[in-house]
Structures are given as structure tokens and as C-alpha cells.
Structure 1
Amino acid sequence: MEKKLRCLQKRLMSHSVYAALLLLCTSVSAEPRSIDARQLDLAGVKSGMDYNEALTAASNYLHAPKDKFKPEQFPAVNVVIGKKEPGWFTYDSNGAKLTVYFEGRVPIDKARPLVVWLVRYEVPWSQDNAAAMGKAAMQKYGTASNAPNTLPMQWCDNPSPNIGLGCPKDTSHAYLELNQTALVLTDPSWQQARFRFVDAQKKVTPGF
């Protein structure tokens, strides 16, 4: 009898350990996946690249000559640089469109005056195109930070523990987001640096 009790206890312990491990694995797999979007590229372009780097990267990645990428036609004066510089360039091919947006680099770098802060790639809406974009994004970037949510799919280094909330869109963290047929890589830190630069130019020391 005692031998049977020991055997039963061992089985119960074994089942308990298995259940605990299963629960642990399930909880781990459900945790948001952290990934630094600044290390990701969209059509070869990454946050932090300058204009020529981004143009070369996109040209190589898409196998398209550089003259097919159209810069902003009538640029305004860039407040950081103090002269007219294109705020973006675009590339269209068979309905797919890539747009790369730039800020003036802060701290100022005369050799690399512009910096990529946002990249957008989109294709015409259709259910098939949306499914193809989702599949391609998963293959390239891996499981989204807010998986299993798919509307939108997001990748970032600070996902909310509540996967329903996904990636918080604050001013210091980069994120990649796929919404149906539009994929956008955003690094707001460069834009915030420009805001601070402009504010600093307005600073006045009271002298009354």
C-alpha cells in the first residue's frame, strides 16, 4: 500500500511540474516581443541615415537607378541648416510607393546635414495586397511586438505588457507599424531634436 502511495505521489508531482512548465512557456510566449526599430530597415533605409546614404540604400535594395527617386520639388529653408534642402524623396513603381522623410540633423553635422526620421512604403489597397504585406513583414521582421494582434502589426523596443495596447507612440522610441497595405518606420527622436533646436533659438535672457 505504501509503495502504491509513493508511486501516486510521484505521478502527481510529475503532472504538477509539467503543468507549471506548460503555464510558464505559455506566459513567456504571450509576452510582447521587444525589438529596436532603429536597427530595422524599410526598403534598405534606416533611421539616422543621411540623404545620400538613404538614396543609395534604397536604390540598391529596390534595384532602381537613383534618378528614379524624386526629391521634394520646391523645398523650404531647413531651419536647422539655414538653407533649402529637400524634406523627402519618393519612388513609385507599379503602384508601390516609397517615401523617405528628412529632418535637419541635430547636433548639426555639415558633412551629413539631413537625417532620416520617417520612411513609408505602401501599395494599393486590396485584401490580397494586405495579406501579402503582412506575410512579407513577418518574414522580414519576425513576430510583431503586439502579436497576435494584426490591426495594426507593430515592432518596437518598449511594447506595453498589455498586447492590446501595442507600442506606445511617444517622442523617444522608434517603431515600425504595418496597417493593412501601409508600412511606416518612425523615429520621432530626430523630430524632437529639431523642436528643441528651434526652441533654443528663441531663448532670451531677460535684461530688465
Structure 2
Amino acid sequence: MTIRKTVLVGTLLLLAAPGVWAQHAVDAAKFSVSGVKLGMDWEVAQRAASGFMQVPASAVKPFSLNNPMTGRSQPMGFRVASPNGSLLVRFSAEPDLNGAVRVSAVEYEIPWSQENAERLRQAALEKYGPSSNGVEGVSLQWCAYPNENLGIGCADMGHQGQAEQAVLEAVGTKLSLTDKGAHIRIQRYLDSKRSTTPRF
């Protein structure tokens, strides 16, 4: 048998093996990164982050941005640095809460090295279980709606709710948990405020 035929047969057997390329749907909104979960309010998220990373409250460094619902600048995120890595927490205004902000993204990162990247990948698999994109590639993703194309990642269109799902992703030495629907909800609200009936 030629090398080409051997590779082809091996690939077909791998694809046919049960569970090898199986997708794993999971609600990433239930996950936490460094103690912080999506949807937490400001005070709860700060306490969770400082407690988990074992740093004093003074180590939590807030930053301000414009709240698109109120038009005012206010704290919309914070950073925490510790010997075990850095944490960035972002907040978004929620239309259903009259513009109150809630956690919409959490990013944890450690210094880059090939060894650290492998450590983070293994730690993520141990903590969160099998990734949803079915293969252990460069990027691991966890979500409720994996893409129909195996190995691609998480779906972001088509089925109702896919575009607004929570996604956990591990790439290199960074772990990020994101509410994909946060931007969509605020954009939908702003669009509704701009709605008008043309008369000409």
C-alpha cells in the first residue's frame, strides 16, 4: 500500500471512530474565570476577583468608559495583576436593567511561553471539561451551540440564540469568557431609540 493510501485509510478510520470528533455542547455562562462570572454586578465581581486572586482591594484598578445608554462616563471595567497572572474584566450596560452594568467579558492571561500555553490549555480542559469544537487544536472553545462544521469553533449565526451565546475560549496563554449577546442587546436598544417613520 502506498504512503498516500495509508494516510487516507488512517484518516477515514479516525473520522469513523466514535467520539473522536464528537462535539460537546455546554452552557459557558455557568463558568467562572478567576472567580468572576458573566452577569455579576460591579461590587460582586470585584470581591470575587480579589478574593480568588488573593490580592487586596487596592490591587483592583478600575477604568472608565462611556455608558452608551446614559451617555455618561463611568467605571466599565477593572484590571487585576498578581504573580499568578493578570485579569481584565469588562462590563456592558444592560437595557433590561435601565443601563446598569454587568460583567460581559473576563480575560485571564499569563506570560507567553510554549510551556505556559500548554499548561493553560491542560488546566482549562481539566477545569471545564471537553471543548465544544470537538478537537484539541490551537484554539479551544466551549459553548452551547458548537459550529456544525467540526473543529471550526462555536456558531455565531443561524439558529436562534447562537449569536448571543456565552463562549469560553483558550488561545495561547489567554483564557477569555465572553457574553456575545452583550453588544447585540445594547445595539438593539440603541436602534429602537433611533426608530422613526419617514414622511416625505
Q: TM-score, normalised by structure 2?
A: 0.82
Q: CA deviation at 1:70?
A: 0.3
SS for the counterpart of 2:168 is strand
The answer to whether 1:93 aligns with 2:85 is no
Q: Deviations over 1:108-166 (max 9, x none)?
A: 247xx111111111111101111110111111101111233221011111112432212
The counterpart of 1:27, out of the listed 18, 34, 39, is 18
Q: Do 1:102 and 1:118's aligned partners in 2 also have CA atoms closer than 8 Å? A: yes
Matches within 5 A, 1:156-195: 156-170=143-157, 171-195=163-187
Q: Deviations over 1:155-204 (max 9, x none)?
A: 11111243221212453111111001011111121221111111122222
Describe the SS at the equivalent of 2:122: helix
Count of aligned residue pairs for this structure pair: 181
The corresponding residue for 2:44 is: 53
State the secondary structure of the residue aligned to 2:142: strand
Looking at structure 1, the residues matched to 148 and 189 of structure 2 have their Cα atoms a distance apart, in angstroms, of: 34
Aligned equivalents of 2:95 and 2:17: distance in 1?
Answer: 44
Alpha-carbon deviations, 1:2-31, whole Å to 9, x = none? xxxxxxxxxxxxxxxxxxxxxxx9424532
Is residue 79–residue 104 contact of structure 1 (8 Å, CA) maintained in 2? yes
Return the structure number with greater strand share: 2
Counterpart of 1:127 (choices 114, 118, 126) is 114
Does 2:53 match 1:66? no
Could you give the per-residue CA deviations for residues 92-112 of structure 1, whole angstroms, max 9, x where no partner exists? Answer: 1237210001111221247xx
SS at match of 1:85: strand
Match of 1:108 in 2: 97
2:49 and 2:84 mapped to 1: Cα distance?
Answer: 17
Rg larger in structure: 1
Contact 2:66/2:73 (CA < 8 Å) preserved in 1?
Answer: yes
TM-score (normalizing by structure 1): 0.79
Equivalent residue letter for 1:83: R
Partner of 1:36: 27
The alignment-based identity, stated in percent, is 34
Amino acid in the other structure paired with 2:66: V
Q: CA deviation at 1:79?
A: 1.9
- Counterpart-to-counterpart distance in 2, 1:169 and 1:123: 28
SS at 1:30's partner residue?
A: coil
- 8 Å contact kept, 2:148–2:155: no
Residue segments in structure 2 that go unaligned for 5+ positions in a row? 1-15, 158-162
Q: CA RMSD in A?
A: 2.2
